[in-house]
A and B are shown apart, each in its own frame.
Chain A
Amino acid sequence: MYSQISKNKWNSLFLFILFFILIGAVAYVINLLFFQGYLFIIVAAIIAIIFSLISYYSGDKIVLSMVKAREANKKDHAHLINSVEGLSIAAGIPSPKVYVIPGMQINAFACGVSPKKASVAFTEGSLQKLNRQELEGVIAHELSHIKNYDIRVMVLASVLVGIIVFASEIMLRSFIFGGVRSNENKGGSAQIILIAVGVVLLILAPIVAQIIKFAISRKREYLADASGALLTRYPKGLADALRKIKADHEELRTASNATAHMFISNPFKKKQWLASMFASHPDINDRIQKLDSM
């Protein structure tokens, strides 16, 4: 358990370093091709930060209303609230607000800016179909997301993706409308090759950025599985819950592409054609296997 936790933390750090290298490369290419390339990077960074901060601070309310979650009350969901409170104590974080999502699919997610202002939401299906240990496993997974600041991690990742996307976009557009460095017009085939390589890199960079972001997201899922197991001291609970989720074929109608990455498992049951590189969650069999080996 402990080794998996530290391994996943190192992996996320490594991926973030990769991110900064990518941004550096994009900045370098832009500067090579155009005037004032670094200024564009700064502009792109400002836009990305503003966008992400808006989603950062209003994100949880929007998501909760999108999935039609309502706050759990002590009368109907005494057991759920008690379990969340208990596991929050184990995690050493303040108890988050608890929501219930209508729908019979087994699923759950956590959202919120910081441990002090976090929320967790569970579908009615997960309350009915999971037994005590399994539900506690799922709760511990969600609380671990809060404890590990995964929401911040993913916001940071989105800012970095945003910088790359905006910068490449602006550059490619201004390139199309003609703005290549004119003072180096001495030309030659070397320059043309350089420009071609630069353009290809600018087209590929946003895609690579997305792949890195999804890789970070998957690492955080493994991390939440492992630190969740540390809270309940019972990895089998979450493993069994994931087995049930795997066998569950309910659709969650309120989920959309925009919110899919937040859930404990992909709410769209049908396998999407996208390769596993673009998956926000690791393969469920792999997660079960890792939990069983703890």
Chain B
Amino acid sequence: MDLVYWILIIFGVIVLYIIVAYNSLIVLRTRINNAWSQIDVQLKRRYDLIPNLIKTVQGYVKHEKTVLTEVTKARANLMSGNMNQKAKASDQLTNALKSLFAVAENYPQLKANENFKMLQEELSGTESKIAYSRQFYNDSVMSFNIKIQRFPASIIANAFRFTKREFFKAEGKEKENIKVEF
């Protein structure tokens, strides 16, 4: 009789553990999805801001066509593709914007333009929001990946088919692309 009770108790504890572990995995997974949409919101925001910026800048910098096309091209890639492609496009756009703002330094009239100043603050704010949402996303992915690999939660993760998630980072060869020309 005693043995039956013990078995029931142990069984109950195991079931309880499965429920708790399963729920915490769901919470973590939802947080990742939420973090991902947060990145998307910020990418979209930047996507929407850029046409305004181009419009404002165009009037002042007529001889710097290449910088502007760079920005436009990078923007076009931003809202399509998978996670890696988006991350890559986002990094490209960051670089393109950097050179655009560097060029703008040479145009005092542009720099004094209220609209430009506002857009610059907005864009750099969005820039850091993208960085922070990326950080939050990657942190969430990290804690999820650790959790599903750790024993005993790994058993539950396997049973319910929780799989490792990807980090938001630009994979590829952009690091090799940096060429220094003398």
Residues of A whose CB lies within 8 Å of any CB of B are: 78-79, 82-83, 85-87, 89-92, 231, 233
Interface residue? B97 (CB, 8 A)? no
B121: chain A residues at CB < 8 Å are: 78-79, 82
Contact B31 A82, beta carbon cutoff 8 Å: no
Contact B128 A86, beta carbon cutoff 8 Å: yes
B31: chain A residues at CB < 8 Å are: 92
Contact A86 B118, beta carbon cutoff 8 Å: no
In the complex, the chain B residue whose C-beta lies closest to that of A85 is: B129
With beta carbons under 8 angstroms apart, the residue of B38, B126, B132 that contacts A87 is B132
Interface pairs (18), CB distance under 8 Å: A78-B121, A78-B122, A79-B125, A82-B121, A82-B125, A82-B129, A85-B125, A85-B129, A86-B129, A86-B132, A89-B42, A89-B129, A89-B133, A89-B136, A90-B133, A90-B136, A92-B35, A92-B140
Contact A86 B136, beta carbon cutoff 8 Å: no
Residues of B120-146 contacting chain A, CB below 8 A = 121-122, 124-126, 128-129, 131-133, 135-136, 140
Contact B122 A92, beta carbon cutoff 8 Å: no
Query: Among B31, B38, B126, B136, which residue has the most Cβ atoms of chain A within 10 A?
Result: B136
| Least CB distance, A227 to chain B, in whole angstroms | 12
A78: chain B residues at CB < 8 Å are: 118, 121-122, 125
| Least CB distance, A146 to chain B, in whole angstroms | 15
A87: chain B residues at CB < 8 Å are: 132
Extra contacts, 20 of them, besides A79-B121, A92-B35, A92-B136 (Cβ < 8 A), are A78-B125, A79-B125, A82-B122, A82-B125, A82-B126, A82-B128, A82-B129, A85-B129, A86-B125, A86-B128, A86-B132, A87-B132, A89-B38, A89-B133, A89-B136, A90-B132, A90-B135, A91-B136, A92-B31, A231-B132
Contact A83 B128, beta carbon cutoff 8 Å: yes
A82: chain B residues at CB < 8 Å are: 121-122, 124-126, 128-129
The 8 A-B pairs of least Cβ separation, nearest first, read A82-B125, A90-B132, A86-B129, A86-B128, A89-B132, A86-B132, A89-B133, A78-B121
Residues of B whose CB lies within 8 Å of any CB of A are: 31, 35, 38, 42, 118, 121-122, 124-126, 128-129, 131-133, 135-136, 140
B128: chain A residues at CB < 8 Å are: 82-83, 86
A86: chain B residues at CB < 8 Å are: 125, 128-129, 131-132
B125: chain A residues at CB < 8 Å are: 78-79, 82-83, 85-86
Q: How far is the CA of A92 from the CA of B140 in the complex (A)?
A: 10
B129: chain A residues at CB < 8 Å are: 82, 85-86, 89
B118: chain A residues at CB < 8 Å are: 78
| Least CB distance, A108 to chain B, in whole angstroms | 19
A92: chain B residues at CB < 8 Å are: 31, 35, 136, 140
| Least CB distance, A159 to chain B, in whole angstroms | 29
| Least CB distance, B40 to chain A, in whole angstroms | 12
A85: chain B residues at CB < 8 Å are: 125, 129
Q: How far is the CA of A87 from the CA of B121 in the complex (A)?
A: 16
B35: chain A residues at CB < 8 Å are: 92
A90: chain B residues at CB < 8 Å are: 132-133, 135-136
Query: Among A78, A85, A89, which residue has the most Cβ atoms of chain B within 10 A?
Result: A89
In the complex, the chain B residue whose C-beta lies closest to that of A75 is: B118
B124: chain A residues at CB < 8 Å are: 82
| Least CB distance, B22 to chain A, in whole angstroms | 22
In the complex, the chain A residue whose C-beta lies closest to that of B31 is: A92
Q: How far is the CA of A233 from the CA of B136 in the complex (A)?
A: 12
Q: How far is the CA of A87 from the CA of B128 in the complex (A)?
A: 9
In the complex, the chain A residue whose C-beta lies closest to that of B34 is: A92
Q: How far is the CA of A85 from the CA of B127 in the complex (A)?
A: 12
Q: How far is the CA of A51 from the CA of B79 in the complex (A)?
A: 53
Q: How far is the CA of A85 from the CA of B140 in the complex (A)?
A: 18
| Least CB distance, A292 to chain B, in whole angstroms | 22
| Least CB distance, B130 to chain A, in whole angstroms | 9
In the complex, the chain A residue whose C-beta lies closest to that of B128 is: A86
Q: How far is the CA of A85 from the CA of B126 in the complex (A)?
A: 9
| Least CB distance, B94 to chain A, in whole angstroms | 15
In the complex, the chain A residue whose C-beta lies closest to that of B135 is: A90
| Least CB distance, A116 to chain B, in whole angstroms | 15
| Least CB distance, A105 to chain B, in whole angstroms | 25
| Least CB distance, B24 to chain A, in whole angstroms | 16
Q: How far is the CA of A79 from the CA of B122 in the complex (A)?
A: 8
